[in-house]
Every structure is written in C-alpha cells, then in structure tokens.
Structure 1
Amino acid sequence: MALRRAALLSGSFAALLLSPAMAQGKRPFINDKKAPDSRHDLDVIQQHVKDTLPAARRATVCIDLGDGTGSGVVVSPEGLILSAAHVTSGVGKEFTVIFEDGRKLKAESLGLVASTDCAMARIIEPGTYPFIELDRDDTAKLGDWVYALGHSGGFDKERGIVVRIGRLVQMKDSTVQSDCSLIGGDSGGPLFDLNGHLIAIHSRVGSRTPENMHVPVREFLKNWDGLTKAEFIGEGPFAKKPEKGKGFLGLGTKDRPGGGLDIEKVGRESPAEKAGMKAGDILLKMDGTELKSKEQLQDLLKEKAPDDRVALELLRNGKPETLTLRLGER
C-alpha cells in the first residue's frame, strides 16, 4: 500500500510540473535553463504549448486585403485585432478577416504607428469573438521559450494555422527577435509565451526563416489610445501617410441652376459606382456642405486623401438618398 501511495504521489507531482494551468500562469522554470537537459524538460515545453494552443489558434485570424494577405490576433471579445502596420497599410481601410474554421467577417483598420509597425483593427460585424490575453506586465525575458502562429502563405483551411516553437534571442526597446521560423503571410501574427499570453506581433520576416523581428506588446500599450482612435501616428518605413488632394470619387458633373450638380457620368469601378451612384442623379451635398458648382466639389476633394470617408446627399427620381463611401486614389 505504501509503495502504491508513493507512486500515486509521484505521478501527481509530475503532473503538477507539466501543467501550466495548475501553475496559475507562473513563470515556467524551463525558461531559466540554458537548454533542456532531459526528456522531462521537453515534456514541460510540449505540455505548456498543448494547454495554451487551442485558445491561441481560435483567436488568430488571416487578414485578406484582396491583393495580399497577412495575419492578426483578436484581443477583445468585441473584436479588436492587433497586427502590423505594413499589413493593414493605412487607417480606415476595409478588409476581410478569416478565422481558422473558415468564418469570414468584415473588418476595418484603426490606428497605426508607422515607425514601429504597430497596427490595430476591429471586426465591424456585431458579435462576441474568441480572444487572447496580453502580457500587460511585460514579463518576457531573453531566452524565454515562445511560439509563433500565423497563416503562412495565406489562408488554408485544410492545413490550418502553422505553429513554430523557438526562443527570444534578442530584445530591444521597440523590437524583439526570435528564432521561430516565419515566412510571407505570417506578418502581423502573434507571438506567445508558454502561458499563452501575447507578447509580440510579427513584423519583419528575415531572409533566413529563423531570423525574425517582432513588435512587443508594450509598444501597442504605449500607443493604445491613438490606435483605438484610428490615428496615423508618427513617420516611418512601415506605412505611408495618405496625401490630401489624391482622394478620387469618379464622377463627371455639371452645374445645375439653383444649386446642386447633375451627375452626367460615373466612372467604371470607381468609388462612386461601387457606392451605387448613377448618371441622372443630382448631387446636393458632401459632408453636409451644399454644392453649388463643379469647382466647389473639386475644392472639397482637394482636402481629402485616399480612403477618407465622405457622406453624399443626392436626389434620385425626386427622392432623397444618402450614401457613404471611401475615396479611392487618384
């Protein structure tokens, strides 16, 4: 009996060592070892990843921009997403996010930091979404074991999200480096610690797959207010600020006696056509300003940049309509 009890206690002790859930998010001892030196050490790493991976996968999304894809991760039940600025590439852009199960939802980019590659977006369809917790206390240290997720090469439902395990090999103020293997399509995806907390977002995929840079969560937290307010923050290599005067509507108009503009032509595949405007409509206002001449409309557009949202009021067959659209690029 005594031997059996000792064996049971020994098994329970091993289970405690292997289960990060039982450790209540404490720092795994394996992070403080120079290298694993036993099968048990490897089992500990495996068990941490096994326990935290399902939630991490559910919250990781593919960002489909139409002409390319990247990755991101949901960080709130309302659908806030963290990604990289070079993935979202602007403020107020609309795109599709795809969860691992293939569910597609509409989203739009919020703010970004052009100098450090931070970006935020949000799902614009109402709902409650799977999300993960941030490492708000900035606990990651050099040498920690981590794992990277992402939609490598684009969304592939049959394959699923790709998981790569590695360590933090360099840490600086605004970047961390891991030796996780990443490729195109992973950009904007999440880097997790062994407790399943988000510690960084993939930024620069190196020419050698195990040499990759990530933006630490502290950079997002430092700029959180501006990101949520859809601000274009700073200047840098990861995003180019839209230029005023390059906003494109795609209408041919002429002045109308008494005010307003007769729409004579709507450009093919233009923002105006995509919003449903038609030749024969009468354009009355833009963003609440009454339109009295073609030149006035052009002057208003000179203050607009690509992707700016505008509200247009018009008459169609004598009935008022209001359309909201995003401008294209001239």
Structure 2
Amino acid sequence: MAVSRELPDFTALVAENGPAVVNISTKQTLSAAPSMRGFSLPELPDDSPLQDFFRHFFGEDGELPDDSIQSRSLGSGFIVSSDGYVLTNSHVVESADEIIVRTSDRREFVAKLIGTDKRSDIALLKVDGDGLPTARIGSSKDLLVGEWVLAIGSPFGFESSATAGIVSAKGRSLPSENYVPFIQTDVAINPGNSGGPLFNLDGEVIGVNSQIYSRTGGFMGLSFAIPIDVAMDVFNQLKTKGRVSRGWLGVLIQDVTRELAESFGMPQPRGALVAQVLPGSPAEAAGLQAGDVILSYNGRDVVTSSTLPPLVGETPVDAEASLRVLRRGEKVDLRVKIEELPDDEQVSSSAPGAPEEPSNRLGLVVRDLTSEQRQQMGIAMGGILVEAVDPGPADDAGLTPGDVILMLDNQLVENVAGFKRILDAIEPGRSVAVLVQRGEGRMFYAIKVPKS
C-alpha cells in the first residue's frame, strides 16, 4: 500500500532565505555607429520641410550624440558573505558599465566586478556593506533525483519570486559547456532568474540557476543549475587570484555506443572513448592512445564521456591522476600529470587527392595521402582518404567522402594496402571500430563487416 505524503511547505524557507537573494540590474552604453559619428545637419533653407525632420533626430545643434544607446539587463544573485560578496551568472554582468545590486529591503549598492568565469558562467561581485544577510551554502554531491528544490529570483523583473519543483537529473552536459555537470530541474526559471540560488528543503543553496531549454524563450520544464560545489570553487579562485584555472588532460573523446562496445569486446557501453590525443598534452606524455576507452579517473567510474571533463577540470593543476583504460581488450593503468586548461584547443582540417579500387566489403573508394596532405591535416603518419562511399556498411555507419581513416579495428592504417590487409583479416559479421578524421575533429564509427 502506497504511503501518502504531504507536499512540502516552503513558507519558512522563503522567509529565512529571501533576504539573501538580490536583484541585479546592469547598464551598458553602446556607442553610435562609427559611420554616423561626426555627421552634422546639412545646410537647408529655413522653409525646408526637412528642417523639422533632421532636428528631431539630431537636436537643435545639428550633431548626432556620440553615445546614443543605453542597454539594460536584469538578473538575480545571492550574498555569500556578510561583508558583501555576491554570486551571479557571468552572462548577467557581461560587458556592463554599471552594476546595481538591490536587496529585498530596497537598499541599492553599486557593485564592483571581482571576476568572471565564462566556462562555468559564474561571476563574483563585491558591494560595500557589513552585516548583510547571507545564504547558507550546502553541497550538491548528495543531491538526489526527485528531491524537492526551490528557486528565488527576479523573473522578468518581478523581484523575490519563489518557484518550486524537483531535481530531474544530475550531471547533465550541455553543448555550450563540458566542464559543468549541470543539475536539471523542472523549477520554473525565466529571464531574470539567472544567477539566483537553488535551495534544498534544508534551506541550503545547492545550485546557481543558469539557463533553460526553450523553443519559445520562456519556461518549458527544463531548467539547468550550476552545482554549488563548482560555483564555490570558482568563488574561491576569483576571490583569491581573480581568475580560474582548471585541469587539462588533452584528449578529444566521444561516447561508446552499443555498436562500438561490441567492436571493443565490451559487455555494455560505458566509458569515454579517446578519438584523439592532442600533441604536447599530458595525455600524450602519459601514453594514452586513440582507441583507448577511459573507464575510471582517480578511482571514480566514467559512465559516459560527459562524466570525464568535470572530473579533470576539478583536478588541481600539476596534480597526478590515475586512469584505468581498456586497450585492445586489456585493462591498463596509467598515471598522468594534469596541466592547466589552455584558452584554446585547436585541431587541424582535411582535404582531398587519385582514387584506388573500392573495398567490396565496406563499399569504400580510398586512396593514399601525400606527405603534403598529411602536413595540412596535422597527421603525423598513415591515414587514407575516402574518395567515395557506395551503398553498404560504411555508408550505413555514417562515413562520407573527404573522411580520413586513421585506424581500423584498433590498428593504425598506414596506407591503402595496409587497410585492405587489416580488413581481410576481420571475420565476417563482426563489428569493428574505425577512427575517422573529419574537418577539425576525430571520431570513432562502428562498422559491421558483412558476411558475404
């Protein structure tokens, strides 16, 4: 028999924590277009009908103002220390000339921007004040899916608005940011809520509301919050040194699909598949290879590829980390010295060149790469160019003309002859992994070798 439970009462939580939540308004002055600066009223006869028209836009002196546009935005935040440190989103205060923090008792402060971190979308502000009400900081590590949570903020400028819901999922990786394991909720979040706190039923902040998924611009049941553990790490770094450093491994990774798992002899899909090891990276120094599947990092299971970046990012720079990888069916333990994540990670591109005979088994027309092509594509050795894809297994797997095949069945492809030799040795009916470079990235594809 199901046990009935009462819905939670949020009144005490709102009364206790509301004073620590602030409204943030920003002002940005946008200059007039350079082509319009210095433009003055043309000389016209006094009785010209255009006189009134030009004076309406240019004023009596006939000069266009240099700074003619004021941009304003609204957001939320919360006070984390009684001496005036405030957390909010980076996108709330981006490019602002003036930041005003307004408390629930109608006091206003001009805030100083201490620092921002775009990768986590966290910004730290400082206002002059003593004895300010502060939010109690909790931890997002023990948060459970299905748990009740409450948001307080200023949606559409309506200050001190409270909305409630449950945790829908944890550890979400969004396309815009791989280093934040977002908390997904169904709490109603709208423009103006950004930067506000997400509370648990104990009245502790467990997240910072950051963004929503919407096809209309309004709330559609999918909200994402930055875990408070991530936000407080950023807070401490911005407060002490004004910038944020993150750990860097130096690999391009992808999920292990069911077909790829079969090709690697894995009972089920799991881990992060290494598609490329960046030159000069900690991963290269540690001996990681393309085709390795990272199963654990510092003893913590890597369930999907999105699990890995936050784990690496939170690792202190110059610290050693342990990796367990699956390499050609064998588990291998590696040690890697983590370096600081660089501002930009670039990978090279690809280009074409005289076709060879198609592979009858996969339906590929391939050819060798010239040394000049390898240099242009950043390929140290080996690789063959896909000239055409006929209907068949390769086409079904998603290979396209212009792809460069670097590995087949965990073996480096040196040239067309080597590719055919590897392919001929694969028993019919088996799925194999193919490492492909396409454009600026590398990815594994699973191809099922036909039986006839």
SS of the residue corresponding to residue 136 of structure 2 reads coil
Aligned-pair CA distance for 1:174? 2.3
SS of the residue corresponding to residue 225 of structure 2 reads strand
- Alignment size in residue pairs: 189
5+ unaligned residues in a row in structure 1: which ranges? Answer: 1-35, 236-330
| Matches of 2:140 and 2:185, distance apart in 1 | 19
Name the amino acid aligned to 2:199.
F
Aligned-pair CA distance for 1:230? 6.2
- 1:163 matched residue in structure 2: 162
1:74 and 2:64 correspond = no
SS of the residue corresponding to residue 129 of structure 2 reads coil
Shift in alpha-carbon separation, 1:215–1:166, aligned structure 2, 3 A = same
| Matches of 1:79 and 1:131, distance apart in 2 | 9
Shift in alpha-carbon separation, 1:120–1:50, aligned structure 2, 3 A = same
SS of the residue corresponding to residue 188 of structure 2 reads coil
Residues 66-145 of structure 1 mapped to structure 2, 5 A cutoff:
66=27, 67-89=72-94, 94-123=98-127, 125-136=128-139, 138-145=141-148
1:179 and 2:186 correspond = yes
- 2:223 matched residue in structure 1: 212
| Matches of 1:166 and 1:54, distance apart in 2 | 18
| Matches of 2:164 and 2:236, distance apart in 1 | 32
Shift in alpha-carbon separation, 1:107–1:139, aligned structure 2, 3 A = same
Residues 95-140 of structure 1 show CA distances to partners (whole Å, capped at 9, x for unaligned) of 11111222111212222221121221121x2322111110147332
Aligned-pair CA distance for 1:185? 0.6
Residues 6-21 of structure 1 mapped to structure 2, 5 A cutoff:
none
SS of the residue corresponding to residue 76 of structure 1 reads coil
| Matches of 1:93 and 1:219, distance apart in 2 | 27
Residues 165-314 of structure 1 mapped to structure 2, 5 A cutoff:
165-172=164-171, 174-207=181-214, 208-229=219-240, 231-233=242-244
Moved >4 Å (runs of 4+): none
| Matches of 1:37 and 1:80, distance apart in 2 | 44
| Matches of 1:84 and 1:234, distance apart in 2 | 18
Shift in alpha-carbon separation, 1:41–1:136, aligned structure 2, 3 A = same
Shift in alpha-carbon separation, 1:233–1:103, aligned structure 2, 3 A = same
SS of the residue corresponding to residue 141 of structure 2 reads coil
Aligned-pair CA distance for 1:220? 1.8
More displaced stretch, 184-193 vs 99-108: 99-108
| Matches of 2:102 and 2:239, distance apart in 1 | 21
Q: TM-score, normalised by structure 1?
A: 0.53
- 2:335 matched residue in structure 1: none
Q: Is the CA contact (8 Å cut-off) linking 1:176 and 1:213 kept in structure 2?
A: yes
SS of the residue corresponding to residue 237 of structure 2 reads helix
Larger RCO, structure (CA 8 Å, separation 6 or more): 1
Q: Is the CA contact (8 Å cut-off) linking 2:120 and 2:231 kept in structure 1?
A: no
Aligned-pair CA distance for 1:181? 0.7
SS of the residue corresponding to residue 61 of structure 1 reads strand
Aligned-pair CA distance for 1:68? 0.7
SS of the residue corresponding to residue 125 of structure 2 reads strand
Name the amino acid aligned to 2:86.
I
| Matches of 1:117 and 1:174, distance apart in 2 | 12
Q: Is the CA contact (8 Å cut-off) linking 2:140 and 2:227 kept in structure 1?
A: no
Shift in alpha-carbon separation, 1:64–1:37, aligned structure 2, 3 A = farther
| Matches of 1:129 and 1:87, distance apart in 2 | 22
Aligned-pair CA distance for 1:37? 5.5
Aligned-pair CA distance for 1:232? 4.2
Name the amino acid aligned to 2:181.
S
More displaced stretch, 107-116 vs 75-84: 107-116
Q: Is the CA contact (8 Å cut-off) linking 1:178 and 1:213 kept in structure 2?
A: yes
Q: Is the CA contact (8 Å cut-off) linking 2:208 and 2:231 kept in structure 1?
A: no
Larger-gyration structure (1/2): 2
Q: Is the CA contact (8 Å cut-off) linking 1:149 and 1:164 kept in structure 2?
A: yes
5+ unaligned residues in a row in structure 2: which ranges? Answer: 28-71, 172-179, 247-452
| Matches of 1:222 and 1:132, distance apart in 2 | 16
Aligned-pair CA distance for 1:57? 0.8
Name the amino acid aligned to 1:216.
P
Shift in alpha-carbon separation, 1:230–1:162, aligned structure 2, 3 A = farther
- 2:12 matched residue in structure 1: 51
| Matches of 1:230 and 1:59, distance apart in 2 | 25
Paired-residue identity, %:
24
SS of the residue corresponding to residue 16 of structure 2 reads helix
Q: TM-score, normalised by structure 2?
A: 0.39
Shift in alpha-carbon separation, 1:200–1:93, aligned structure 2, 3 A = farther
Shift in alpha-carbon separation, 1:137–1:210, aligned structure 2, 3 A = closer
